[in-house]
Amino acid sequence: MKIHPTAVVSPQADLAHDVEIGPLCVVEAGTVIGLGTHLASHVVLKRGTTLGADNQILDGAVLGGLPQHTSLPEQLGTLVVGDSNVVRENATLHRSLRAGECTRVGHHNLLMVGCHVGHDCVIGDHVVLTNNVMLGGHVEVGDRAYLGGGAAAHQFVRIGGLAMVGGYARVIRDVPPFFLLDGDTGMVVGLNRIGLSRAGLSSDAVKQLKAAYRVVYRQGLTWNEVQTTLGDRFGDGPAAELARFLTGGTRGFAQERRIPPGATIRIHDSHQDTLPHEDQADFRAEAG
């Protein structure tokens, strides 16, 4: 174990024998640090934080900070980080808002400079959050998803596995797995082809996803018809995973940037003016 003399490490912290802790780090009581984990300089691990093995936590990162909430309960939850993650400079990961629950980060993730992971988020494996990505509370990010720089996800949004979110995107609705969200408009613009290729999906699997994409966005079906058609046509494979994703969530789903004729219910302009902007979006999401 290597601990720099300027680091402040509580004797109530549970450290593996080969942990390295750099200068001016602070490790509070009630933390757990697994084998092979290295803290660079000025890293702060707050109480209730558990790190698995072989993590690299770089300069200025703060893990396990208090949830950003106007009414904090007396007892809080924890932060649990898996194995082989890299957390870059000045990233912040907050613990859960509720006792007995946790903010969870999986394995082999890369969280780049200035990322924020809010309380009660759940991040899968092999996820990339690039510089200054912001996740509100209770956001879920599936395996191998990629979020571009400055993207911001609203509370309770889900981002499916192998989805790609463009830089500076305003993510206010669930992003289905395997799809690409445009950073400028916050709308879906096709399959995440690069991500699918890197993940090794077969050409047959990609063809299946193309067919499922057409069902969701190109056939002008109602939402109930979309779910029924996906369930009938795709019993297994990635399209079946897509179908399962589309049965959950509370925020609605990102719409396609290219909207074909008949895909949404047309609302007369005078009636549109009487609906708040968010209500109009909900109506279109449910209709399309």
**Number of CB atoms found within 10 A of residue 199's CB:** 16
How would DSSP label each residue in 103-169?
EEE-SS-EE-TT-EE-TT-EE-SS-EE-TT-EE-TT-EE-TT-EE-TT-EE-TT-EE-TT-EE-TT-
Catalytic residue among 137, 149, 161, 186: 137
For residues 14, 17, 20 and 21, what is the CA-based torsion angle, rounded to 10 degrees?
30
Is 120 among the residues known to form the active site? yes
Catalytic residue among 107, 116, 119, 126: 119
d(CA 137, CA 131): 18
Helix (H, G, I), strand (E, B) or coil at 79: strand
Note the residue count of the chain.
288
Is 137 among the residues known to form the active site? yes
Is 17 among the residues known to form the active site? no
Catalytic residue among 52, 94, 120, 138: 120
Task: Please list the active-site residues.
Answer: 119-120, 137
